[in-house]
């Protein structure tokens, strides 16, 4: 059999026919809802605990079901990269970010550490960097002035910089960064480039293929689109070498996290949630394709209304990072004999109703189909105002407009979503107006 394609990897994962036979022929990975493993001897217990033989010992350091999820994620994120890739799954996306970044802030690499990051980040990421690392641990946080300018990053990197961090696309402004250019800067400095690619998923963007070293995801979002489970993931290429970091950490970063920080600090995903996430991931490519196609239709429609002041979506030509999205965001395996590759720009967009904050609140309150919720990537379309939700804790320093509505497009019919937005914007009073609007 030739190497399986992306959709096949998502369905099959690491669970094959032979393993199915050993589990009474079950077509699905078993959910090992247990916390510990029985051993047939003291020596087997010792060897497994020491990492000399395969096994999982205790759920805080691994479980067969979470292992299947990790293998599947590594296969999807490493698809067509030519690299050996491993993954570690965590309780939430923020746990993944915290583990992936804190590992590089140890004293062994020297004093006065600093981190360089794009300010276009999710609110909780900003809080981890500014409050948990900056205020509480004395780490200098250098937010780049312009994340789309490579020179802006280069200016603030020095010998004490431990890593570069960016979201691409970002939540909620859906802006991209130039991953290959930042990867070159990171290699020159001998530090990792860490990319949060939650909004793209590996179905649209695989940062490791573009030169990034480590990728983080919130599996609570599009990967777990049913909305039944929370989870996170850290995925890294093997054989990394970073300035001032021990080889045991960088040779297999995901394994290092599982057997060290995760084991000791306990941010381990439950096997039940791993099992439900595996079920969601099977249809990742098709689902993200549907959601992204709908999001583009919605964004184009909103951009054509004169009662919408601004639309944020990388699929619109007026968006500042549209050129990067055109270059980097492709529906995986969409090309082939007689078929052109297909750009897909993700399921998230933002818009500002004309009339400011009050108009945004009115429109959000009038939604009848779209759910008012602070999550995204679900099969159900959701909307929030980040300034009073996901970015409320950031306060006045947030770059997110106070009147911006963030819309995550689900798998409902795009026409129905558009109808709901139309009535929310007009309040059901009069016809929908569709002259040319503005897009960013």
CA 10 to chain centre: 17
Q: What is the pLDDT of residues 147-173, one digit of tens each?
A: 999 999 999 999 999 999 999 999 999
pTM: 0.93
Would you identify the CATH topology of the domain 6-281?
3.40.640
Q: In terms of Cα–Cα distance, which of 187, 234, 282 is closest to 85?
A: 234
What pLDDT, on the 0 to 100 scale, is given for residue 430?
Answer: 42
In this predicted structure, the answer to whether residue 230 has a pLDDT above a threshold of 50 is yes
Q: Provide the β-strand partners of residue 87.
A: 235
Q: Which residue has the higher pLDDT, 336 or 22?
A: 22
Pairing of strands 214-218, 193-196: parallel
What pLDDT, on the 0 to 100 scale, is given for residue 108?
Answer: 66
Average pLDDT, the chain: 92
Percent of the chain predicted with pLDDT > 70: 94
What pLDDT, on the 0 to 100 scale, is given for residue 391?
Answer: 65
In this predicted structure, the answer to whether residue 408 has a pLDDT above a threshold of 90 is yes
Specify the range with the lowest mean pLDDT, choosing from 10-19, 79-88, 189-198, 268-277: 10-19
Please enumerate, as own/partner, the contacts of 353-360 that have beta carbons within 8 Å and a separation of 24 or more.
353/307, 353/308, 353/309, 353/403, 353/405, 353/425, 354/306, 354/307, 354/308, 354/309, 355/307, 356/403, 357/387, 357/402, 357/403, 359/403, 360/385, 360/402, 360/403, 360/404, 360/405
| Domain residue ranges in the chain | 6-281, 284-426
**How far is the C-alpha of 337 from the C-alpha of 29, rounded, in Å?**
34
396-420: average pLDDT: 92
Specify the range with the lowest mean pLDDT, choosing from 31-45, 88-102, 177-191: 31-45
1-24: average pLDDT: 89
Q: What is the pLDDT of residues 319-333, one digit of tens each?
A: 999 999 999 999 999
What pLDDT, on the 0 to 100 scale, is given for residue 157?
Answer: 97
Would you identify the CATH topology of the domain 284-426?
3.90.1150
Distances, alpha carbon 65 to alpha carbons 99, 257, 278, 279, 324, in Å: 21, 18, 9, 12, 37
Specify the range with the lowest mean pLDDT, choosing from 42-46, 106-110, 387-391: 106-110
Specify the range with the lowest mean pLDDT, choosing from 122-126, 307-311, 334-338, 403-407: 334-338
Q: Which residue has the higher pLDDT, 428 or 227?
A: 227
200-217: average pLDDT: 98
Confidence band for 110, pLDDT divided at 50, 70 and 90: low
374-391: average pLDDT: 91
In this predicted structure, the answer to whether residue 440 has a pLDDT above a threshold of 80 is no
């Amino acid at each position: 059999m030739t190497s399986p394609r992306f959709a096949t990897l998502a369905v099959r994962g690491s669970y094959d026919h032979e393993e199915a036979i050993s589990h009474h022929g079950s077509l699905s990975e078993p959910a090992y809802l247990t916390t510990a493993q029985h051993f047939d001897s003291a020596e087997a217990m010792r060897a497994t605990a020491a990492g000399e033989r395969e096994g999982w010992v205790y759920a805080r350091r691994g479980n067969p079901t979470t292992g299947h999820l990790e293998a599947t994620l590594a296969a999807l994120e490493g698809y067509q990269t030519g690299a050996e890739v491993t993954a570690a799954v965590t309780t939430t996306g923020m746990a993944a970010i915290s583990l992936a970044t804190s590992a590089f802030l140890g004293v062994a690499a020297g004093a006065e550490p600093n981190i360089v990051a794009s300010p276009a980040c999710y609110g909780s990421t900003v809080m981890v960097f500014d409050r948990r690392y900056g205020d509480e641990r004395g780490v200098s946080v250098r937010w780049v002035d312009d994340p789309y300018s490579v020179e802006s990053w280069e200016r603030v990197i020095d010998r004490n910089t431990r890593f570069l961090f960016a979201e691409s696309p970002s939540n909620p402004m859906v802006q991209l960064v130039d991953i290959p250019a930042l990867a070159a800067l990171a290699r020159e400095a001998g530090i990792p480039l860490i990319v949060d690619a939650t909004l793209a998923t590996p179905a649209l963007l695989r940062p490791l293929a573009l030169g990034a070293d480590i990728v983080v995801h919130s599996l609570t979002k599009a990967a777990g689109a049913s909305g039944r489970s929370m989870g996170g993931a850290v995925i890294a290429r093997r054989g990394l070498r970073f300035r001032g970091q021990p080889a045991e950490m960088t040779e297999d970063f995901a394994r290092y996290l599982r057997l060290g920080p995760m084991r000791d600090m306990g941010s381990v995903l439950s096997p039940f949630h791993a099992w439900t996430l595996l079920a969601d991931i099977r249809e990742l490519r098709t689902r993200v394709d549907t959601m992204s196609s709908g999001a583009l239709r919605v964004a184009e429609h909103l951009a054509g209304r004169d009662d919408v002041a601004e639309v944020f979506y990388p699929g619109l030509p007026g968006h500042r990072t549209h050129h990067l999205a055109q270059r980097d965001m492709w529906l995986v395996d969409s090309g082939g004999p007689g078929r052109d590759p297909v750009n897909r720009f993700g399921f998230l967009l933002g818009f500002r109703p004309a009339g400011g904050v009050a108009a945004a609140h009115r429109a959000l309150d009038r939604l009848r189909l779209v759910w008012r919720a602070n999550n995204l990537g679900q099969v159900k379309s959701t909307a929030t105002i980040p300034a009073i939700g996901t970015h409320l804790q950031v306060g006045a320093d947030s770059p997110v407009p106070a009147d911006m509505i963030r819309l995550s497009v689900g798998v409902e019919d795009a026409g129905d979503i558009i109808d709901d937005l139309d009535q929310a914007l007009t309040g059901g009073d009069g016809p929908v107006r569709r002259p040319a609007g503005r897009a960013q």
